[in-house]
Structure 1
Amino acid sequence: MKLSMPRFDHAQVLVVGDVMLDRYWHGGTSRISPEAPVPVVKVEQVEDRPGGAANVALNIAALGAGVSLSGLVGRDEAADALVETMAAANVHSELHSVDTQPTITKLRVMSRHQQLLRMDFEETFSPEDAQVLVQKSQQLLGSVGALILSDYAKGALADPVLLIAAAKKAGVPVLVDPKGADFSRYRGATLLTPNLHEFEAVVGPCANEKELVSKGEQLMADYDLTALLITRGEHGMTLLRPGVPELHLPARAREVFDVTGAGDTVISVLAASLAAGEALPQAVALANLGASIVVAKLGTAVISTPELRRAIQAEQGSERGVLSLEQLQVALEDARAHGERVVFTNGCFDILHPGHAGYLEQARELGDRLVVAVNGDDSISRLKGPGRPINPVDSRMALLSKLESVDWVISFDDDTPAHLLEVLKPDILAKGGDYNKENVVGWELVEGYGGKVEVLTLFDSFSTTSIVEKVLEKNR
């Protein structure tokens, strides 16, 4: 299945559900309390993280999509902290405040990365409050491309059927992260995303793949579902649709550190992808990649656009090679988002020889990524004279892209790469040959924005000109 990066900046998603605040008190423990056999924690840091439906919205915002959050909170400091955090992440909050109940808060006391105690501050919200939330959320459906119902059984989605019906009438797909054993509450939804444990709690144990598919098809028929996505941990995901063969995607994660929040990531990438115009199978495949990224992180985490784009490139085998200027700009944005240093070098590379290979290896060792800019055919003709280049630019670039030391190759038609340097702003400009720094084209530009210029070893015994002359001499 071919994947590409969705235009998340064109997507708008509405998240409705149980909003929570995950609060962490961090501190050291050096003694046992004289009052009881418990450790004494000296609190040194307080950390607040959005949880529940708020974490789903945060995931969507991290992808660069527009997102609105609708939920129930109390009139308290925890609600203020949530609103402030969501605003800082570019999430538009439409939260309904309830006077008589607290914002759902999970307080964890941590010491040396270990959880010593968790305290929950919560009361189930009333059906009347849930009804107000539904009415407020319906008003937002006209401007979104997907609706997520994030249900944690805390009362915000006491009766989601009206909201599902309103979304369907507006032509908005409804994705549900379900809770509990009564999936009839989500009748008419576009897609449910239960994990295997939640699925089997409703349909009963599945002894094999055939039984899982059969029970899933019956569930879709019973509750008028357009699709069902069962997340199965290390066994990947299975997408079921009526009348269509099942789609099974294997787990992509090489290392799993923490599955916390993986379900939030899956439904977030799914909804943002659908809202950006992706078909459901492609959206599921993207969500599967997103899950593989987030489970390799510790704690509830989000994935960024550069992380997902890099995973897509790796999946398609296109994380290296010949790129256009626009593609290279995106690749460098991703590299810098991962803290990688970019090295740039340029040349004709008319006949690739050991001297070239040696200096490209030196250049690559200066940083994490190497960009090689290659003179176009007309540029070489102007610089080297009639009869050059020996090899056309496409062939030269293809050969360079096969070298282990080279990440990306791009061509330029000017006599110098000054324009590329101005646009790409590499961390290091490297040049191989008999140069002083001041003779390297673009050195002032690079040092002007804080980059470095490096002159590399000259390989005296190799040059394209000398190779051409030897060939001509033998043919005389």
Structure 2
Amino acid sequence: MELSFLQHLSKAKVLVVGDVMLDKYWHGDTGRISPEAPVPVVKVAKVEDKAGGAANVAKNIAHLDGQVGLLGLIGEDDNGQVLEAILAADHIASQLVKVAELPTIAKMRVISRHQQVVRLDVEEPFSLSHSELLLARLENVLADYDIVVFSDYNKGALGHIEAMIKLAKQAGKLVLVDPKSHDLNKYRGADIITPNLSEFRLAGGDSQSEETLTESARKLIADAGIGAMLLTRSEQGMSLINATEKHDFAAQVLEVSDVTGAGDTVIATLAVMLGAGMAAKDAVEMANLAAGIVVGKLGAATVSPEELSRKLGQYLKATGEHYQTPFDDVLKHIEFARQSGEKIVFTNGCFDILHAGHVRYLAQAKARGDRLVVGLNNDESIARLKGPERPVNPLNERAMVLSALASVDWVIPFGCVSENDTPAALIEKVKPDVLVKGGDYTVEQIAGAEFVLANGGTVEVLSFLDGCSTSNVIRKIKAQ
């Protein structure tokens, strides 16, 4: 498996069809019991709205740089409008069909101290006539996509899924299904289905041993006319099973925070990797890595190409190959992180010969937030600032080394002559919540500080590690 596939994720053209919903989160602290009833009182401090169900699958695809469309059913209500706005912000080409007489499906969770206190569901099942509306819309948009993902939450949008799959296969599309029904015949013709262990058992699968699991999985997909099954098995990882082969993948997570939406991430990652040209076995391996990342996050979360790159690098024990985010995608990834409530930190420098002082400083900068963006002077800028003998290491090599650090999320070059060798213009594009600079500067002397402060951010000055500098390293080398 090669990291180079991560450079081609935007080639994936995926249409998601299924049960969309809005996930609402109320976050707050619990300090007392209500005098009205023996229940905790949560003082709400923050409210979050997120895409859920099939919409979360589409969001995962978009955050992996795949080209994605979404078909689903919503009501003519405020929740539907909120969901459409979220999808538009995530660059998802959604075509949600509005049904006047039913509400948009919404799952409302009250969270206190990282624990769910209660969940409230607003939903009514959609009818076959409503599903027919999606079937008609599917026929009109199929030509624009190579892969179709059906995300079934048993809410009625996929009431005509047999006809939908048949239509997609007749159009030559690869079909993936995240099933909910125990009757797998409904998914006849699908190329891959992705049940979890509970759904597998309800469909008639036998998991008493590896042998019975394999045999029953092969019988189920053969009887239903399905190409393969990707069975997600919680702490046991995943198994890809078809008529002749079985590949097992060990779970890739050390600590589970929340399994909400993990299945959405699996099928989304699988679709994007297949769309990027990856073989099925390797695509499942990537989906397994993505699942290991997302369950370590709270709530329905997504995975970025950068996170997958770091995880894959660890998995392959650092082969020397490294994924660099295409510059055009960096700002979009930063915005996705911001939409997820993550605090963005920015710092900048030459980082010519990386040393202990740099590593310590970057770790301290990262601790000021959730994601760290490093603005990196390009070679011409360093030559103007430091002299013609610098940099020692060219831009691509410096960026690769920085990107490999656990503290660094994105590296962005800057240093055009028109920018006067400062990152001010870059800072205005990144819009960080925290601007960090090392040394003995005052806030007024830091490029971009005025912009960050005006936008409600903070600016911090950190001290460097005594005796550590690139110039000192070079002098020591020359002295030997």
Q: TM-score, normalised by structure 1?
A: 0.73
Partner of 1:283: 283
Name the CA distance, whole Å, in 2 between partners of 1:282 and 1:80: 38
1:232 Cα deviation from its structure 2 partner: 0.7
1:205 Cα deviation from its structure 2 partner: 2.9
Q: 1:335 to 1:79 in 2, by over 3 A?
A: closer
Partner of 1:360: 355
Name the CA distance, whole Å, in 1 between partners of 2:239 and 2:126: 34
Matched position secondary structure for 1:229: strand
Structure-to-structure mapping, 1:66-465, within 5 angstroms: 66-243=67-244, 245-318=245-318, 344-346=350-352, 360-368=355-363, 456=468, 463-464=476-477
1:25 Cα deviation from its structure 2 partner: 3.4
1:189 Cα deviation from its structure 2 partner: 0.3
The amino acid across from 2:69 in the alignment is S
RMSD: 4.4
On the 8 A contact 1:345/1:429 being kept in 2, the answer is no
Name the CA distance, whole Å, in 1 between partners of 2:58 and 2:201: 27
Name the CA distance, whole Å, in 2 between partners of 1:463 and 1:32: 68
1:152 Cα deviation from its structure 2 partner: 0.7
Q: 1:138 to 1:367 in 2, by over 3 A?
A: same
Name the CA distance, whole Å, in 2 between partners of 1:197 and 1:83: 32
On the 8 A contact 2:10/2:65 being kept in 1, the answer is yes
The amino acid across from 2:361 in the alignment is L
The amino acid across from 2:243 in the alignment is P
Partner of 2:34: 32
1:116 Cα deviation from its structure 2 partner: 3.2
Q: 1:335 to 1:212 in 2, by over 3 A?
A: same
What per-residue deviation string (whole Å, max 9, x for no partner) do you get for residues 223-274 of structure 1?
111111001111111101223x211111111222111111000000011111
Q: 1:364 to 1:329 in 2, by over 3 A?
A: farther
On the 8 A contact 2:149/2:271 being kept in 1, the answer is yes
Name the CA distance, whole Å, in 2 between partners of 1:11 and 1:235: 29
Q: Looking at CA atoms only, which structure, 1 or 2, has the larger radius of gyration?
A: 1
1:285 Cα deviation from its structure 2 partner: 1.0
Pick which of 4-13 and 217-226 moved more. 4-13
Structure-to-structure mapping, 1:32-51, within 5 angstroms: 32-34=34-36, 36-41=37-42, 43-51=44-52
Q: Quick check: 1:7 aligned with 2:2?
A: no
Identity among equivalent positions (%) equals 37
1:30 Cα deviation from its structure 2 partner: 3.8
Name the CA distance, whole Å, in 2 between partners of 1:461 and 1:276: 43
Q: 1:448 to 1:113 in 2, by over 3 A?
A: closer
On the 8 A contact 2:16/2:71 being kept in 1, the answer is yes
Q: 1:109 to 1:405 in 2, by over 3 A?
A: closer
Q: 1:234 to 1:322 in 2, by over 3 A?
A: closer
Matched position secondary structure for 1:149: strand
On the 8 A contact 1:344/1:429 being kept in 2, the answer is no
Name the CA distance, whole Å, in 1 between partners of 2:120 and 2:436: 51
The amino acid across from 1:279 in the alignment is A
1:26 Cα deviation from its structure 2 partner: 3.9
On the 8 A contact 1:344/1:428 being kept in 2, the answer is no
Pick which of 128-137 and 335-344 moved more. 335-344
Aligned residues: 413
Q: 1:227 to 1:423 in 2, by over 3 A?
A: farther
On the 8 A contact 1:236/1:248 being kept in 2, the answer is yes
Name the CA distance, whole Å, in 2 between partners of 1:72 and 1:160: 14
Q: Which runs of 5+ in 2 are unaligned?
A: 338-343, 367-373, 380-387, 409-416, 428-434, 450-458
Q: 1:279 to 1:339 in 2, by over 3 A?
A: farther
Pick which of 197-206 and 110-119 moved more. 110-119
1:131 Cα deviation from its structure 2 partner: 1.2
1:194 Cα deviation from its structure 2 partner: 0.4
Name the CA distance, whole Å, in 2 between partners of 1:332 and 1:82: 24
Matched position secondary structure for 1:5: helix
1:307 Cα deviation from its structure 2 partner: 1.3
What per-residue deviation string (whole Å, max 9, x for no partner) do you get for residues 327-364 of structure 1?
897999999988585664447xxxxxxxxxxx933444
1:166 Cα deviation from its structure 2 partner: 1.2
Q: Which runs of 5+ in 1 are unaligned?
A: 348-358, 375-382, 385-392, 409-417, 431-436, 438-445, 468-476
Name the CA distance, whole Å, in 1 between partners of 2:359 and 2:205: 56
Name the CA distance, whole Å, in 2 between partners of 1:111 and 1:428: 31
